[in-house]
């Protein structure tokens, strides 16, 4: 059910539709950490563009009075004291918040398997991962437990699960959606994004949550960009695509997408992203470095889990060892190492210099074209438990990191299925503030390839 179908029904009917799906499927799919269907007061009608629309919120985004776990044991019993700006904006638009969704712990992961609350499962086939880290948000929408969801995207965590579950996912321009109330993982990369069944719904949600916020020092004012109709649009395809480890079926689908866009009058050129191959190590040094600083606040003193000890330092160390999961500890230790004396220049600063190169390549490419077409992910959804090596898990982000490093928007849109019936996602990347344009192009793929 999309938003336009929901608008034809009563608020009660829409909520019942989602709640029935929740009751029938949640035990198997594990989409939610905290579901709030039973707390909804339907008489409290605000009206607004999202009136009657049930929305799920990733559990690293604060909703006042509701537990916030980041899928981690370390936030045991913590309840949000205030709501995130994006949540306040949803509520002002009449959206019904139906709960907080499962995720990889502190948004670190690409399969949902690093959750302390167990993995979510892909509704298309429960033996598959729904992707991550916004795993539960994707599952909630794909299974009809909600009609839209907020996720967070640090290196692909909205777009990759959208791709794996056959949904639309948008990562907006950095700074256009307030991060106030989003638990910080990697502050220079984190952005709240939207997941929905259709491009129209995902962009409607995004338009609601966007806007300058003085509570976020990195917030920016939205800028108007010129509308470029498809027949005047030039797309770039990176020449490196064929050298990368991407499933041939997905590359083939990218060329199908190219053909449908060409049929509408779009032109295509080859672009060069020579440092694309360094995007994963660059990201995997910057994000853990920032996370090692951001996660130092979890000390078991003011809230959450505490493993008591008579000695304060021992208490910190024991609490954090017990409270954080394996992947979070790995990243904190890698980040602390990269920032430590003697290694800072060789690791962190070198990665920031490479970030400048990768972003420069992308900005140069976007000077010669209006948008870039690539697949969203190198593979379709993989079986739960099949990826054990952290490096193999990080490889999932091959095509979704560069946008985060540069701060530009990208949309993942379903482009049919592979021979096993698993969804394939196509990604369109644009210059800063071009969300409306790239969404229009995505709608063509949505229409022609599904």
Partner 1 sequence: MKIKDEDIKRVSKLAMISFDSDEKLLHDISNLLENFSRIGNIDLSDVLPMTHPTQCKLIKKEDEPGKNLVRETFINQAPKSKDEYILVPKIISEHE
417 is catalytic: no
E strands of 123-199, at which residues? 148-153, 168-171, 191-196
What is the per-residue binding string for partner 1 in 367-396, x denoting contact by CB under 8 A? -----------------------xx-----
Stretch 75-114: interaction string toward partner 1, x if CB under 8 A: --xxx-xx--------------------------------
By CB under 8 A, name the one of 14, 29, 61, 351 that touches partner 1.
Answer: 351
Give the nearest distance from C-beta 339 to partner 1 in angstroms.
9
Helix H, strand E, coil C: the string for 249-292 is HHHHHHHHHHHHHHHCCCEEEEECCCCHHHHHHHHHHHHHHHHH
Taking alpha carbons only, the member of 102, 86, 88 closest to residue 141 is 102
Ranges within 204-243 binding partner 1 (CB under 8 A): 214, 217-220
Residue 367 contacts residue 236 (beta carbons within 8 Å)? no
Q: Does 291 bind partner 1 (CB under 8 A)?
A: no
Q: If binding is defined by CB under 8 A, does position 356 make contact with partner 1? A: yes
Burial 9-40 (b: 16+ CB within 10 A, else e): eebeebbebbbebbeebbeebbbbbbbbbeee
Rounded Cα gap, residues 210 and 357, in angstroms: 29
Of 339 and 449, nearer to partner 1 (C-beta) is: 339
Residue 374 to residue 166: CA distance in whole angstroms: 16
C-alpha triplet 426, 156, 86: angle, nearest 5°: 110
Three-class SS state of 170: strand
Closer residue to partner 1, CB minimum distance, 103 or 351:
351
179 binds partner 1 (CB under 8 A): no
Among 42, 269, 333, 447, binds partner 1 (CB under 8 A): 333
Distance between CA atoms of residues 396 and 292, nearest Å: 22
Q: Which residue has the tokens 């139906």?
A: 98
Q: Let me know if 157 is a catalytic residue.
A: yes
**Counting contacts by CB under 8 A, is residue 344 touching partner 1?**
no
Q: Are 130 and 112 in contact (CB under 8 A)?
A: yes
Q: Kindly state whether residue 245 participates in binding partner 1, applying the rule CB under 8 A.
A: no
> Considering the rule CB under 8 A, would residue 188 count as an interface residue with partner 1?
yes
Q: 58 catalytic, yes or no?
A: yes
- For residue 247, the minimal CB distance to partner 1 (Å) is 22
Task: Please state the closest distance from residue 357 (CB atom) to partner 1, in A.
Answer: 6
Q: Which of these is catalytic: 120, 135, 152, 157?
A: 157
- What residues make contact with partner 1 under the rule CB under 8 A? 77-79, 81-82, 174-175, 188, 214, 217-220, 278, 281-282, 284-285, 292, 296, 299-306, 308-318, 320-321, 324, 326, 329-330, 332-334, 336-337, 340, 346-347, 349-357, 359, 390-391, 405-407
Active-site annotation, residues: 58, 133, 157
């Amino acid at each position: 059910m999309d938003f336009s179908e929901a608008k034809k029904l009563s608020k009660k009917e829409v909520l019942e539709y989602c709640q029935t799906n929740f009751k029938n499927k949640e035990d198997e799919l594990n989409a939610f950490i905290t579901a709030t269907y039973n707390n909804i007061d339907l008489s409290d009608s605000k009206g607004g563009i999202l009136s009657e629309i049930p929305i799920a919120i990733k559990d690293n985004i604060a909703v006042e009075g509701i537990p916030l776990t980041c899928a981690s044991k370390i936030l045991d019993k913590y309840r949000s004291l205030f709501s995130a700006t994006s949540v306040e904006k949803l509520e002002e638009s009449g959206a019904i918040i139906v709960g907080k969704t499962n995720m990889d712990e502190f948004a670190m992961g690409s399969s949902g398997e690093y959750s302390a609350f167990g993995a979510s499962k892909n509704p298309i086939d429960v033996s598959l991962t729904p992707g991550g880290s916004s795993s539960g948000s994707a599952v909630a929408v794909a299974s009809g437990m909600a009609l839209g969801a907020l996720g967070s995207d640090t290196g692909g965590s909205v777009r990759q699960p959208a791709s794996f579950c056959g949904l639309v996912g948008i990562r907006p321009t950095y700074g256009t959606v307030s991060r106030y109330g989003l638990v910080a993982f990697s502050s220079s990369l984190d952005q709240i994004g939207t997941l929905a069944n259709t491009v129209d719904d995902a962009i409607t949600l995004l338009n609601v949550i966007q806007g300058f916020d003085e509570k976020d020092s990195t917030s920016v004012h939205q800028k108007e960009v010129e509308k470029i109709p498809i027949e005047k649009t030039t797309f770039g395809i990176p020449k490196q695509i064929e050298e990368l480890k991407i499933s041939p079926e997905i590359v083939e689908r990218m060329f199908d997408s190219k053909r449908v866009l060409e049929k509408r009058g779009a032109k295509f050129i080859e672009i060069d992203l020579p440092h694309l191959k360094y995007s994963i190590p660059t990201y995997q040094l910057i994000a853990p470095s920032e996370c090692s600083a951001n996660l130092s606040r979890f000390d078991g003193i003011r809230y959450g889990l505490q493993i008591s000890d008579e000695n304060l330092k021992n208490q910190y160390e024991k609490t954090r060892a017990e409270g954080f999961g394996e992947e979070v500890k790995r990243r904190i230790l890698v980040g602390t190492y990269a920032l430590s004396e003697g290694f800072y220049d060789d690791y962190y600063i070198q990665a920031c210099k490479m970030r400048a190169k990768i972003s420069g390549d992308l900005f140069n490419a976007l000077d010669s074209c209006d948008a870039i077409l690539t697949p969203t992910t190198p593979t379709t959804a993989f079986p739960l438990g099949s990826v054990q090596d952290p490096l193999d898990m990080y490889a999932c982000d091959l095509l979704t990191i560069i946008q985060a490093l540069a701060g530009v928007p990208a949309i993942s849109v379903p482009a049919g299925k592979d021979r096993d019936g698993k969804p394939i996602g196509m990604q369109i990347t644009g210059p800063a503030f071009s969300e409306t344009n790239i969404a229009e192009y995505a709608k063509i793929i949505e229409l022609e390839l599904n």
